[in-house]
Amino acid sequence: MLDDLVYAQVNRQHGVTLETNPIASASLDTDGNSYNPEDSVIELSAHNMYAHEMQLICLSGLIAIARS
């Protein structure tokens, strides 16, 4: 059931998106206005992360990306 709701995108030119519910736009992602692909650190913003399960899914994805 959750497999259909999990989405991750990493693009050096456009940023990072970790989404756990596409219908509700629940995500952890970079802001397109402030993202700079040349920076070594990126800032992520949470959107509609109202459940602990959603937060855990996105943070797990973020850890997987950071470790790769």
In a domain, 65, yes or no: no
Residues spanned by the domain of 21? 1-35+42-47
In a domain, 66, yes or no: no
pTM of the predicted model as reported, rounded to 2 decimal places? 0.75
> In this structure, what token pair is assigned to residue 40?
């070594």
Sign of the dihedral defined by the CA atoms of residues 14, 40, 28, 59, in that order: positive
Average confidence (pLDDT) per 10 residues, the chain, 68 residues:
72 87 84 84 89 88 87
pLDDT of residue 9: 85
In a domain, 5, yes or no: yes
C-alpha 40/C-alpha 46 separation (Å) is: 20
User: Total structural domains in the chain?
Assistant: 1
- Are 45 and 28 within 8 A, CB to CB? yes
Q: Identify the H or E element spanning 46.
A: strand 44-47
